[in-house]
Amino acid sequence: MKMNISPERRKQLRDAEYSPTVRDRPGRCIRNFLGTIAWVWLITFAWSARIQAYSFITNPPTVWPDGTVPMDLQLGSASWDLMDGNTSWNTVANNALATWNLYINKVQFTVYAQSTGIAVDGNGRNEVQFN
């Protein structure tokens, strides 16, 4: 004999048989377990991570000597008009250095009139180029 029970009645019977705490227990246990695993992993990672920091504050303080800072601009020209209307990256950088000079009193940026060659690491020059 087959009984016809509506879906609403079936849900009522199921809810009456199992309380909400019993129905949700497996999911809650899994969530608690995964949360604990996540915390353990985070704490382990935090303790094992090597943190590096750099300090540019020295005793006595290291400062750039008064005078000029020569800059070798090797940026070239843009293949389109830039936002400020220039077509040369060197002109834009030169204008930016001139703006900095308005706010820096003891040190002034200067730009080489003619580039002295290809930029190389460790050659003692302040070279600016796109790589």
Per-residue confidence (pLDDT) for residue 61, from 0 to 100: 66
Per-residue confidence (pLDDT) for residue 98, from 0 to 100: 92
Number of domains the chain contains? 2
The DSSP code sequence of the chain is ------HHHHHHHHHHHS-HHHHHHHHHHHHHHHHHHHHHHHHHHHHHPPP-------SSPP-PPSEEEEEEEE--B-SS--TTS-SBHHHHHHHHHHHHHHH-SSEEEEE-SS--S---TTSS-EEEE--
- Same domain? For 34 and 75 the reply is no
Is residue 28 in a domain? yes
**Are the C-beta atoms of residues 66 and 106 closer than 8 Å to each other?**
yes
> Tens-digit pLDDT profile for the chain (131 aa)?
567 778 887 777 777 666 655 555 666 777 788 888 888 888 887 777 665 555 667 777 667 778 888 888 888 788 888 888 888 888 888 899 999 999 988 889 988 766 666 777 777 777 787 76
Q: Which amino acid is at 75?
A: L
- Same domain? For 71 and 114 the reply is yes
Tell me the residue range of the domain where 26 lies. Answer: 7-48
Per-residue confidence (pLDDT) for residue 99, from 0 to 100: 92
Is residue 53 in a domain? no
Is residue 25 in a domain? yes
Is residue 59 in a domain? no
State the pTM of this model.
Answer: 0.49
Tokens 């703006």 found at: 99
- Same domain? For 80 and 30 the reply is no
